[in-house]
């Protein structure tokens, strides 16, 4: 997959600009606060329909402008695809090949992307939310049915949590089994997909991590919760566990069992990474996970996604930077950094200098 052209209108600090990307390495460089990350964010938005940085789309609109527009021409293995997003104060419209889409699910999979920024250290060091987000983001791009199951699951959990706070306990106890029937079907789809994904992710990440550290430390990972069997059996297991947890759920007022509580456990050298990994260890482990993710996309979708490396180069030492770059053959990569080092990227990469929301030509 590759993005050939990206145009931004009233997006963040861009008034109007058009980028041409090459199929290999693209380096967006310039001083701080000039619009490098904004450009990377626009690419990610067209891939996923969301931004990693914000909750409200309106922050994407250039201050003082009524709406923002992002458009790209890309190519995936089925041919050329154009994607366009118009973002207004309270609404947005996304078109794929000129057709307005009704649901975000229809956007996913057109252009896949893997995003890596220094913030991704949270993946290793923080609580389970970040790791579930990682799984959800990957799997949603790879499978619309995962995305849809996840949305429905989350909606039912929310409603179930509201129900658990109802004072009419006998009514709640009567209603819960009905809810849980549906809930467990979606939950099982989510769980099964995650299991399959992590079963492949783990060996890839371990291998990549050994490559990055010259085998000095061993990474290991897997889901913390054990589920047995196929989707149907997983649903049955969840139903039993949910029933067993009615009393506790009622007492606490929220749903304590299910994939919204599961975690991807990561350990480095036998120690739980969360709470123990140093900055350097976390950085390398996060990078290994992202590179493994890249390979899974290649296997599942049949081609590499667009890789966005936002500000990560400066954080890695030279040997790791070189190792990273050596892995990017055949991957369209958009790198943001303050200095485009020639030693690292060679002279063939596409360098784009950015200042004040403009390309300096
Ligand atoms: N909605 C917006 N309207 C105008 N400017 C914005 C908007 N959102 C962000 N900016 C500006 O964009 C700049 C940051 O750009 P960014 O791409 O994060 O910088 P960097 O080049 O360091 O990656 C800041 O100066 C910020 O004020
Ligand atoms: Mg930046």
* DSSP line for 314-330: GGS-HHHHHHHHHT-TT
Please check whether residues 230 and 183 belong to one and the same domain: yes
Does 247 lie in the same domain as 223? Answer: yes
What is the atom index within ligand 1 of the atom nearest the CA of 65?
3
The arithmetic mean of pLDDT across residues 235-245, rounded, is 97
Question: pLDDT tens, 95-127?
Answer: 999 999 999 999 999 999 999 999 989 999 999
Q: Is the pLDDT of residue 255 over 80?
A: yes
Do 140 and 46 belong to one domain?
no
How large is the average pLDDT for residues 164-182? 93
Dist. CA 53 → ligand 1 center (Å): 12
Q: How far is 204 from 341, CA to CA, in rounded Å?
A: 29
- Residues 356, 257, single domain; the answer is no
Averaged pLDDT, 224-234: 96
DSSP 3-state of 158: helix
pLDDT-derived band at 54 (thresholds 50, 70, 90) equals: confident
Q: Note whether 243 and 315 are same-domain residues.
A: no
Residues 138 and 108 in one domain: no
3-state secondary structure of 310: strand
Q: What is the CATH number of the domain that holds 160?
A: 1.20.1050.90
| DSSP category for residue 199 | H
**Structural domain that includes position 176:** 120-302
Q: What is the pLDDT of residue 345?
A: 76
Q: Are residues 296 and 242 in the same domain?
A: yes
Whether 335 and 310 map to the same domain: the answer is yes
DSSP string, 15-60: EEEEEE--SSEEEEE-STTSSHHHHHHHHHHHHHSS-SS-S-GGGG
For atom 18 of ligand 1, the residue with the nearest CA is 37
**174 and 221 assigned to the same domain:** yes
| Residue 100 CB-half CA count within 13 A | 4
Contact 179, 156 (CB under 8 A): yes
Please tell me what DSSP assigns to residue 12. Answer: T
Residues 211 and 136 in one domain: yes
* Residue that terminates a domain, selected from 302, 324, 342: 302
Least confident of 37-51, 201-215, 231-245, 336-350: 336-350
Residue 36 belongs to a domain with what CATH number? 3.40.50.300
- C-alpha 214 to ligand 2 mean position (Å): 30
On whether both 133 and 63 belong to a single domain, the answer is no
What's the pTM value of the predicted model, to 2 decimals?
Answer: 0.95
Say yes or no to pLDDT of 31 above 70.
yes
Ligand 1 atom at minimum distance from 59 CA: 1
Instruction: For residue 33, report the distance from its CA to the centre of ligand 1, in Å.
Output: 6
Q: How many domains does the chain have?
A: 2
Question: Among 280, 302, 324, which residue terminates a domain?
Answer: 302
Same domain, 252 and 313: no
Å from CA of 153 to ligand 2 middle:
34
Q: What's the confidence (pLDDT) of residue 1?
A: 96
Determine the atom of ligand 1 nearest the C-alpha atom of 311.
23
Within 6 Å (CB) of ligand 1, which residues are found?
A: 12-13, 30, 32-38, 59, 61-63, 336
Residue identifier of the C-alpha nearest atom 24 of ligand 1: 33
pLDDT at 343: 65
């Amino acid at each position: 997959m590759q993005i050939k052209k990206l145009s931004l209108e009233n997006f963040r600090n861009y008034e109007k600009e058009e980028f041409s990307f090459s199929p290999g390495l693209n380096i967006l460089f310039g001083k701080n606060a000039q619009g490098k990350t904004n450009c990377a964010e626009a690419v990610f938005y067209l891939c996923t329909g969301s931004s990693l940085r914000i909750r409200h789309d309106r922050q994407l609109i250039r201050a003082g402008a009524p709406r923002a527009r992002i458009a790209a021409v890309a190519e995936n293995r089925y041919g050329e695809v154009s994607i366009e997003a118009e973002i207004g104060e309270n609404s947005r419209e996304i078109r794929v090949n000129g057709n307005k889409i009704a649901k975000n699910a229809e956007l996913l999979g057109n252009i896949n992307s893997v995003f890596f920024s220094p913030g991704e250290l949270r993946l290793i060091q923080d609580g389970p939310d970040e790791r579930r987000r990682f799984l959800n983001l990957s799997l949603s791009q790879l499978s619309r049915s995962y995305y849809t199951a996840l949305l429905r699951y989350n909606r039912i959990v929310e409603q179930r949590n509201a129900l658990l706070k109802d004072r009419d306990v006998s009514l709640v106890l009567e209603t819960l089994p009905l809810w849980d029937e549906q809930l467990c079907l979606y939950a099982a789809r989510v769980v099964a997909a995650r299991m399959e994904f992590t079963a492949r992710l783990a060996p890839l990440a371990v291998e990549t991590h050994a490559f990055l550290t010259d085998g000095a430390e061993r990474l290991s990972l897997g889901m913390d919760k054990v589920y047995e069997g196929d989707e149907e059996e997983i649903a049955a297991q969840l139903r039993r566990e949910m029933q067993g947890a009615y009393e506790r759920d009622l007492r606490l007022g929220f749903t304590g069992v299910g994939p919204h509580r599961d975690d991807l456990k990561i350990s480095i050298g036998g120690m739980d990474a969360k709470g123990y990994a140093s900055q350097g260890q976390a950085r390398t482990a996060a990078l290994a996970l992202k590179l493994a993710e890249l390979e899974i996309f290649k296997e599942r979708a049949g081609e590499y996604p667009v890789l966005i490396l936002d500000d990560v180069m400066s954080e890695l030492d030279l040997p790791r930077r070189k190792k990273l770059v050596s892995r990017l053959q055949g991957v369209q990569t958009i790198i943001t950094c303050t200095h485009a080092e020639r030693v690292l990227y060679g002279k063939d990469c596409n360098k784009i200098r950015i200042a004040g929301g403009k390309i300096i030509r």
